[in-house]
C-alpha cells in the first residue's frame, strides 16, 4: 500500500539493516501480537500457470487505456526479469514453491485471478459481499493498495485486486503510474515495505522528484536482494558529495598524483571474495587498488546473518518449507595501501545505505582520525 552519519566504525563490527514498517496488503496486515498465519504476506500466485489479470477503469480516471496497459505490461516484465536475475525463480522452484513466471492480460475480468481497478467506486463488489470500501477503510487515505481476497495453501494460487484512487493528481506525473503499479505488484509477489527500493512505503513522497525515471527502478539506493557471494561490478564516484576528502584528494591519495579531468571509479569483486578491486582512472590512465578482505561476516558460522531482517519474495504452499529471501545489509572489512604505502582499514557497506541518494555499495576508509567516504556507487538511469 502507498500513502499519499555515518558514525565511527569499530573493526570487527557488523552492521545490519533491519527493514522496518513491513505491511501486507488487505486483511493480512499485522502488528504487535497479531497471530499471523504462515501464508500471510506471501506471493499470491505459485506454479507454472501464468497470472491471469484484467483491469477496469472508471470514466473519471485521468489516464487512458493505452497508458494503463503499457504500465501493467512493463511492470510485470520488469519484475519477472528481476526474479530471474536475482535467482528467485531458481531458488523457489527448488523449494517446491515456484513463482508464476508470466502474466496474461484477459479481455474480460470474468474469471480473472487478479483485477486492477482504476478509480472504481468504493461500492464496487470484490468478494463474498465485501466492497472496495471495506478494504480501503483499512488504510489512511491510500493512493493505491493491494488486497488478497482468497488463497489456497494447497494449490498456491490466490485471488485479489489492486485499487487505484481516481482523485490523486500524483498518478498523472511522468512515470508515477508505472512506479505505483510496480510497488503493488511487489506486494503480490510477497514483498513487504523495504526502504530505498520500489517497495519503500514512502514511495508517494518520491513521485514529485525532478528525476522521475529513477522512481520506477526496483533497486534504488538499496536492493531488495543483495547476495555478496555473487560477482558484482559497479561504477561510482570517489570521495563524498560535499565534505572532505574530495574526489581529487582521494584520487591523489590512491594514485600519487593529481587527476587529469574528473576521476572515475569502479568496484569489482573477485569470485572467491578474498579481495575486491577499486579501479580508479582519469584521462592519463587506470590503476587497480586491491582491497584484501580481512573479516567477512557472511561465511561459515556467520551465515546466520541472513536469517535476520524482513523477508522479501515470501512464498508458502502446504507440504513445503516456507520460502523467503532476506533484505539485509552487511559490512565487510578489509584494508588497502595508498600510494605512499600506508595501510588503511576499509569498510565495504553492502545494502546499508539508509540516508543518501547514492547506490547500495559504499566504501569508507579510516583516514587520519575518522572514517571517510572512499567510494559511492552511483545510480545510472
Per-domain residue ranges for the chain?
26-216, 233-295+329-377
pLDDT digit string, tens, across residues 350-378: 887 766 667 888 999 988 788 889 999 88
Whether 54 and 116 have beta carbons less than 8 Å apart is answered as: yes
pLDDT reading at 58 higher than 90: yes
Average pLDDT, the chain: 84
Residue 26 has pLDDT above 50, yes or no: no
**Phi-psi region for residue 71, left (φ > 0), alpha (ψ -120 to 50) or beta?**
alpha
CA angle 37, 306, 101 (to 5 degrees): 65
Cα–Cα distance measured from residue 306 to residue 309, given in angstroms and rounded to the nearest whole number: 7
Q: What is the pLDDT of residue 95?
A: 95
Rounded CA separation 175/63 (Å): 12
Cα–Cα dist 86/324, whole Å = 12
Span 337-346, pLDDT tens digits: 999 999 999 9
Distance CA 365, CA 11 (A): 11
pTM for the whole structure: 0.79
* Residue 308 pLDDT grade (very low, low, confident, very high; cuts 50, 70, 90): low
Mean pLDDT, residues 209-224: 78
- Of 227 and 204, more confident: 204
Cβ atoms 97, 46 nearer than 8 A:
yes
For residue 163, with 0-12 CB atoms within 10 Å meaning exposed, 13-18 middle and 19 or more buried, which class applies?
buried
CA distance 91 to 89: 6
Which residue has 569470485 as its cell numbers? 271
> Please, is 60 exposed, middle or buried when counting C-beta atoms within 10 Å of its C-beta (0-12, 13-18, 19+)?
exposed
Q: Is the pLDDT of residue 32 over 70?
A: no
Residue 168 reports pLDDT greater than 90: no
> Which residues make beta-bridge pairs with 291?
276
Q: Answer yes or no: is pLDDT of 210 > 50.
A: no
Query: What is the rounded average pLDDT of the residues 87-116?
Result: 96
What confidence tens digit (pLDDT) does each residue in 180-199 have? 999 999 999 999 998 889 99
Rounded Cα distance between 76 and 93, Å, is 19
Q: Are 174 and 183 in contact (CB under 8 A)?
A: no
| % the chain with pLDDT above 70 | 83
pLDDT of 10 over the 60 cut: no
Question: How many angstroms separate the CA atoms of 136 and 130, rounded?
Answer: 11
The band of 17, judged by pLDDT with boundaries at 50, 70 and 90, is very low
Residue 125, pLDDT above cutoff 60: yes
Q: What is the pLDDT of residue 299?
A: 52
148 with 156: CB under 8 angstroms? no
**Are 130 and 19 a contacting pair, CB within 8 Å?**
no
Among 4-13, 164-173, 286-295, the range with the most confident prediction by mean pLDDT is: 286-295
Torsion 367-373-377-380 (CA) sign: negative
For 191, residues 6+ apart whose C-beta sits below 8 A from its C-beta are 199, 224, 312, 313, 314
> Minimum mean pLDDT among 52-66, 80-94, 200-214: which range?
200-214
> Comparing 120 with 210, which gets the higher pLDDT?
120
pLDDT at 8: 32
Among 126-130, 226-230, 367-371, which stretch is predicted with the lowest mean pLDDT? 226-230
* Alpha carbon distances (Å) from 355 to 18, 95, 360: 14, 35, 11
- CATH number for the region 233-295+329-377 comes to 2.40.128
Report the alpha-carbon distance of residue 96 to residue 319 in Å, rounded: 9
Same fold, 26-216 and 233-295+329-377: no
Residue 4 confidence (pLDDT)? 56
**Count of residues in the chain:** 381
Separation of alpha carbons 292 and 346, rounded Å = 9
**C-alpha span between 378 and 380 (Å, rounded):** 6
CATH number given to 26-216? 3.40.390
User: Could you tell me if 245 and 263 are in contact, meaning their C-beta atoms sit under 8 angstroms apart?
Assistant: no
Residue 174 pLDDT exceeds 90: no
Residue 278 DSSP SS3? strand
Residue with the bigger pLDDT between 360 and 347: it is: 347
pLDDT > 50? residue 27: no
pLDDT interval class at 7 (50, 70, 90): very low
Q: Is 262 helix (H, G, I), strand (E, B) or coil?
A: coil
Compute the distance between CA of residue 132 and CA of residue 147 in angstroms, rounded to an integer: 9
Q: Roughly what angle, to the nearest 10 degrees, separates helices 65-85 and 176-188?
A: 50
15 pLDDT higher than 60: no
Q: Given this model, what pLDDT does residue 346 score?
A: 94
Please report the pLDDT score of residue 296 as a whole number: 66
Mean pLDDT, rounded, for 48-74: 96
Amino acid at each position: 500500500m502507498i500513502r499519499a552519519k555515518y558514525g565511527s566504525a569499530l573493526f570487527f563490527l557488523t552492521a545490519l539493516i533491519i527493514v522496518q514498517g513491513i505491511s501486507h496488503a488487505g486483511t493480512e496486515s499485522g502488528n504487535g501480537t497479531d497471530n499471523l498465519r504462515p501464508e500471510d504476506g506471501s506471493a499470491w500466485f505459485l506454479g507454472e500457470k501464468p497470472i491471469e489479470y484484467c483491469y477496469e477503469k472508471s470514466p473519471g480516471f485521468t489516464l487512458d487505456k493505452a497508458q494503463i496497459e503499457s504500465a501493467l505490461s512493463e511492470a510485470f516484465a520488469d519484475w519477472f526479469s528481476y526474479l530471474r536475475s536475482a535467482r528467485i525463480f531458481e531458488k523457489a522452484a527448488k523449494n517446491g514453491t515456484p513463482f508464476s513466471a508470466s502474466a496474461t492480460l484477459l479481455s474480460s475480468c470474468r474469471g480473472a485471478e487478479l483485477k486492477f481497478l482504476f478509480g472504481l467506486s468504493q461500492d464496487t463488489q470484490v468478494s463474498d459481499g465485501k466492497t472496495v470500501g471495506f478494504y480501503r477503510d483499512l488504510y489512511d487515505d491510500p493512493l493505491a493498495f493491494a488486497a488478497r481476497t482468497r488463497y489456497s495453501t494447497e494449490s498456491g494460487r490466490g485471488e485479489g485486486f489492486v485499487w487505484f484512487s481516481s482523485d490523486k493528481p500524483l498518478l498523472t506525473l511522468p512515470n508515477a503510474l508505472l512506479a505505483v503499479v510496480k510497488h503493488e505488484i511487489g506486494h503480490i509477489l510477497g514483498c513487504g515495505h523495504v526502504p530505498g527500493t520500489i517497495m519503500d512505503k514512502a514511495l508517494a513522497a518520491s513521485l514529485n522528484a525532478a528525476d522521475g525515471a529513477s522512481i520506477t527502478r526496483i533497486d534504488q539506493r538499496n536492493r531488495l536482494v543483495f547476495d555478496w557471494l555473487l560477482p558484482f561490478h559497479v561504477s561510482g564516484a570517489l570521495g563524498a558529495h560535499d565534505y572532505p576528502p574530495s574526489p581529487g584528494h582521494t584520487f591523489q591519495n590512491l594514485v600519487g598524483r593529481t587527476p587529469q579531468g574528473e576521476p572515475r571509479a569502479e568496484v569489482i569483486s573477485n569470485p572467491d571474495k578474498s579481495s575486491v578491486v577499486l579501479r580508479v582512472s582519469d584521462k592519463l590512465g587506470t590503476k587497480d587498488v586491491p582491497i584484501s578482505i580481512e573479516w567477512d561476516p557472511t561465511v561459515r558460522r556467520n551465515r546466520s546473518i541472513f536469517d535476520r531482517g524482513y523477508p522479501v519474495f515470501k512464498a508458502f504452499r502446504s507440504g513445503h518449507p516456507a520460502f523467503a529471501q532476506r533484505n539485509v545489509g552487511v559490512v565487510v572489512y578489509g584494508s588497502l595501501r595508498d600510494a605512499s604505502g600506508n595501510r588503511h582499514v576499509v569498510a565495504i557497506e553492502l545494502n546499508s545505505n539508509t540516508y543518501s541518494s547514492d547506490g547500495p555499495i559504499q566504501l569508507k576508509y579510516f583516514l587520519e582520525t575518522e572514517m571517510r567516504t572512499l567510494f559511492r556507487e552511483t545510480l545510472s538511469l
